[in-house]
Structure 1
Amino acid sequence: MAVILIVDDDTAFRTTLAETLDDLGYEVRQAGSCEAGLRRLADGGIDLAIVDLRLPGEDGLAFLRAAADAAPGLPCIVLTAYASGSNTIEAMRLGAFDHLTKPLGRDALAEALRRALNASRPAPAAPAGAAPEAEHLVSNSEVMRAIFKRIGLVADSDNTVLVLGETGTGKELVAQALHANSGRAAAPFVAVNCAAIPAELLESELFGHVKGAFSGAAADRLGRFREADGGTLFLDEIGDMPLSMQAKILRVLQEREVTPVGARHALPVDLRVVAATHRDLEAEVTEGRFRADLWYRLQVITIMLPPLRERGDDVALLAAHFLRQQAQGRHKHLSAAALTALQAYDWPGNVRELRNTMLRAIALSEGDLIEPGHLGLGAVRAWATTPSPSVPVAGDGAAIDWDGPLQDAVEQLESFMLRRALEAAGGNRSEAARHLGLSRQQLYRKLAQYDLE
């Protein structure tokens, strides 16, 4: 008969849980604090611990750290009524077998116990002062909680990670969470948008160059790989990388060395690579647009991010999060009708589009109450989906004439998208360029072309 230790300061919950475990055929030990739980653990004979995250004094994470030394390999299941991306990731990184939310269903508990007792694994130690930095990964959905757990499990390894998902789902936030919860957290996190850098400049951007390597190379340049030495390099939109560059990236992943443009010798680098794309790389390989050997090398660990439309009640949670984050001390809140409108929308632009929508609503609402008209969703949906021959694209009534000259339609669409990206970025041109998949130079040229400077 397995012996299970319950560490929870809620006496009523602890008693009820003990009765359930007794009914399931387990022997139970109880403790009301981290310190008491560790004393019980020191007595020996414990096969599994169920630990509440919030405890008086030291918390459940402190129990995990201490248990890693006191009872290596002890499976621990962490409980909380206040799940977040950061505490889930941290618990899993510290070696928790699972992270469950209260209240617990009997069947779910029984299954978790069966899996934990059948597959106990050593819990990795972590520095006591390590603090997660994944607060922007916000979700209450089960599908995202599974991703938080996966991040926590793999964060401390140096394995290459491939993050897949539609545009705007938060792939860079996953990369940042992997870095922040790893042993490389104190070293640089360097992000490169492969789609925003012209192909002829990408090699120098990534690998660096030596002075005189080409016209304009007036000094040595490290390159992003060497800038990330010791830390993490995030290659965003790697599916847009030219085939010629893919071969060079593959060599870096295999050999862990880079050769700057114009240099004669390779230089070693110590870093972790996280790559991301919204493209279907398997289809890209089939079509000959992506190297099969690089694809295999990238997918050591794969994390698939779901679109926002598949994330349950996360729209309301994220909207409230963005209001708190962006309202600059003003107590903005959504009306019932505005919340209904947000939940009814299908969010083709995912979390990024929701964030931009809340920024727009904050700017357009004069008082503290945000109404449906402040969201601007109707105009966006009409522009994106209306099959009529003339579709509004701007607040001034400008429209695309679908039966007119192609060049005129392209110019109207480009002008609208440029204004919209700049507005969403609060005038930050670098962020607007990144959102549009343009280099800064390309953005500046187009702003001048449409007199938007």
Structure 2
Amino acid sequence: MALILIVDDDTAFRMTLAETLDDLGYQVRQAGSCEAGLASLGDGAIDLALVDLRLPGDDGLAFLRTAATTAPGLPCIVLTAYASGSNTIDAMRLGAFDHLTKPVGRDELAQALARALRAHQPAVAEAVDDDTQAGEQMLSNSAPMRAIFKRIGLVADSDNSVLVLGETGTGKELVAQALHANSARAAGPFVAVNCAAIPAELLESELFGHVKGAFSGAASDRLGRFREADGGTLFLDEIGDMALPTQAKILRVLQEREVTPVGGRQAVAVDLRVVAATHRDLEAEVAAGRFRADLWYRLQVITIKLPPLRARDGDVALLAAHFLRQHAHGRAKRLAPAALAALQGHPWPGNVRELRNTILRAIALSEGDLIDVEHLGLDAAPATEAATAATATAPVTVAATPAGTAEIDWDGPLDRAVELLESCMLRRALAVADGNRSEAARRLGLSRQQLYRKLAQYDIE
């Protein structure tokens, strides 16, 4: 019977979790701090640790760092109510096996424990999270993106080539930057090249450099992007648009780790990692003879496929709020309920880039602090148009309290309608989350502090 250590300062949660583990057939040892947890490790016999991210004194990451040396190979699963891209990546870099977001379901917990014990390898940890996630470049609360963050953390320290796939605007360069920033090459240069933006006849000189006099206009030597990225990471964006002759030379650089400048005779060694990206289906491109199969095999040592924004449940509201904070220049810009509904109903063919540009446009076009549908400039889908027409002529009934309903007066004050809708959404999110405020905040795309302020504003217990 496996012995599991729970390290969590929330006594009620720790006791509940211990009861669940006991029901699942595990032995349990408990600790209320990082220091107490490490002391328990010193007693030996621990098979797996469940560690809260936020602890008094040293946090869950400190536990993982120390456990890696004092109990190497111990699977650790970090529990957190504050999930973000950076803390997931940091966790995986520390060798964490997986992470669970509070509240933890019994089935999810059982499956994670079984996987971790079976694999018997280090597990999850999460870095301390800023509740607003304001410093994050990659924001998401969706399961598909959480899987991406884990994968980045797992492979960041590897020098293997990475192929990033995804539609236009999904954030492929952000993935490349995250891989670089979390690697041993972080102190080196990060060099990005958009292969589709450079004419084919100039791309070789751009990538490999040239010697003086190599061609008309080559007035001096040029290093080229491969040599500029020496010691760091080279990001080749839209590599699927690259001409076949250039592809052959890229393949040779990846194989030999040396570059020969255009017009030069002497190869120069380079030490770098290559991350490539494309929105194209490279397998289809290979079949059509437009992309070299050997280069495709070389690039896809590690593949990361980004989901489109429409497949990232809840992220439209989260990202819209982030872009408002980031670009409103201190003004208290906010989305009207109808505007948020329009954003959530839009298919986003341009993905996160399109959403960002939409918010920037709305900030510029809205005179007051409230951003409405007309400020977004979206092409309304028929369903959206029909819904807009219906709300113009008919009252809408929303649940105001668990015991009753309230009707929005569409001819009344806007502030009152917004307050009523917000209050109803807050109550509904709390009800769906069984009163768990962290889960309710996640569903609403709010930080926990923002949720608390809203609950106080509407006097919701």
- Fold in common (TM above 0.5): yes
CA contact (8 A) 2:76 2:124 kept: no
- Partner of 1:378: helix, strand, or coil? coil
Mapping for residues 409-424 of structure 1, pairs under 5 Å: none
Tell me which residue corresponds to 2:100.
100
* Partner Cα separation in structure 2 for residue 26 and residue 214 of structure 1: 72
Tell me which residue corresponds to 1:81.
81
User: Quick one: which amino acid aligns to residue 219 of structure 1?
Assistant: S
Please give the per-residue CA displacement for 1:412-436, whole angstroms capped at 9, x wherever unaligned: xxxxxxxxxxxxxxxxxxxxxxxxx
* Partner Cα separation in structure 2 for residue 179 and residue 45 of structure 1: 37
Cα offset for 1:378? 2.7
* Partner Cα separation in structure 2 for residue 40 and residue 368 of structure 1: 54
Q: Deviating runs (4+, > 2 A) in structure 1?
A: 121-125
1:178 partnered with 2:169: no
Cα offset for 1:89? 0.7
Distance 1:58 1:146, change over 3 A: same
Please give the per-residue CA displacement for 1:191-241, whole angstroms capped at 9, x wherever unaligned: 000000010110010011111211111111111111111111000000000
Please give the per-residue CA displacement for 1:289-329, whole angstroms capped at 9, x wherever unaligned: 00000011111010110111111110000000111111111
User: Quick one: which amino acid aligns to residue 232 of structure 1?
Assistant: T
Distance 1:170 1:241, change over 3 A: same
Cα offset for 1:31? 1.1
* Partner Cα separation in structure 2 for residue 208 and residue 378 of structure 1: 45
* Partner Cα separation in structure 2 for residue 337 and residue 139 of structure 1: 22
Tell me which residue corresponds to 2:121.
121
* Partner Cα separation in structure 2 for residue 366 and residue 12 of structure 1: 49
Mapping for residues 124-135 of structure 1, pairs under 5 Å: 135=136
Cα offset for 1:101? 0.3
Tell me which residue corresponds to 1:241.
242
After superposing the two structures, state which structure 1 stretch, 215-224 or 230-239, moved more: 215-224
User: Quick one: which amino acid aligns to residue 44 of structure 2?
Assistant: G
Distance 1:136 1:227, change over 3 A: same
Cα offset for 1:121? 2.3
Tell me which residue corresponds to 1:414.
none
Tell me which residue corresponds to 1:43.
43
Tell me which residue corresponds to 1:318.
319
Seq. identity, %:
83
- Partner of 1:57: helix, strand, or coil? coil
Tell me which residue corresponds to 2:393.
none
User: Quick one: which amino acid aligns to residue 70 of structure 2?
Assistant: A
CA contact (8 A) 2:76 2:97 kept: yes
* Partner Cα separation in structure 2 for residue 79 and residue 159 of structure 1: 30
Tell me which residue corresponds to 1:151.
152
CA contact (8 A) 1:86 1:134 kept: no
Distance 1:122 1:77, change over 3 A: closer
Tell me which residue corresponds to 2:372.
371
Tell me which residue corresponds to 2:301.
300
* Partner Cα separation in structure 2 for residue 151 and residue 34 of structure 1: 26
* Partner Cα separation in structure 1 for residue 298 and residue 288 of structure 2: 18
CA contact (8 A) 1:210 1:263 kept: yes
Mapping for residues 415-434 of structure 1, pairs under 5 Å: none
* Partner Cα separation in structure 2 for residue 351 and residue 247 of structure 1: 33
* Partner Cα separation in structure 1 for residue 168 and residue 122 of structure 2: 37
* Partner Cα separation in structure 2 for residue 268 and residue 124 of structure 1: 37
* Partner Cα separation in structure 1 for residue 357 and residue 140 of structure 2: 18
- Partner of 1:73: helix, strand, or coil? coil
Tell me which residue corresponds to 2:391.
none
* Partner Cα separation in structure 2 for residue 368 and residue 46 of structure 1: 55
Please give the per-residue CA displacement for 1:138-191, whole angstroms capped at 9, x wherever unaligned: 000001101100110000101110000000000000101111111111111110
Tell me which residue corresponds to 2:218.
217
- Partner of 1:331: helix, strand, or coil? coil
User: Quick one: which amino acid aligns to residue 82 of structure 1?
Assistant: Y
Tell me which residue corresponds to 1:423.
none
Cα offset for 1:122? 5.3
User: Quick one: which amino acid aligns to residue 107 of structure 1?
Assistant: D
User: Quick one: which amino acid aligns to residue 31 of structure 1?
Assistant: A
1:65 partnered with 2:65: yes
CA contact (8 A) 2:98 2:124 kept: no
CA contact (8 A) 1:7 1:30 kept: yes
CA contact (8 A) 2:78 2:123 kept: no
Tell me which residue corresponds to 1:2.
2
Cα offset for 1:124? 12
Q: Which runs of 5+ in 2 are unaligned?
A: 126-132, 383-461
Tell me which residue corresponds to 1:207.
208
* Partner Cα separation in structure 2 for residue 133 and residue 200 of structure 1: 42
Tell me which residue corresponds to 1:283.
284
Tell me which residue corresponds to 1:55.
55
- Partner of 1:195: helix, strand, or coil? helix
1:226 partnered with 2:227: yes
Cα offset for 1:360? 0.3
User: Quick one: which amino acid aligns to residue 144 of structure 1?
Assistant: M
Distance 1:102 1:123, change over 3 A: closer
Q: Which runs of 5+ in 1 are unaligned?
A: 126-131, 383-453
User: Quick one: which amino acid aligns to residue 2 of structure 1?
Assistant: A
* Partner Cα separation in structure 1 for residue 327 and residue 116 of structure 2: 41
User: Quick one: which amino acid aligns to residue 89 of structure 2?
Assistant: I
User: Quick one: which amino acid aligns to residue 241 of structure 2?
Assistant: D
CA contact (8 A) 1:73 1:123 kept: no
* Partner Cα separation in structure 2 for residue 214 and residue 58 of structure 1: 61
User: Quick one: which amino acid aligns to residue 63 of structure 1?
Assistant: F
Tell me which residue corresponds to 1:357.
358
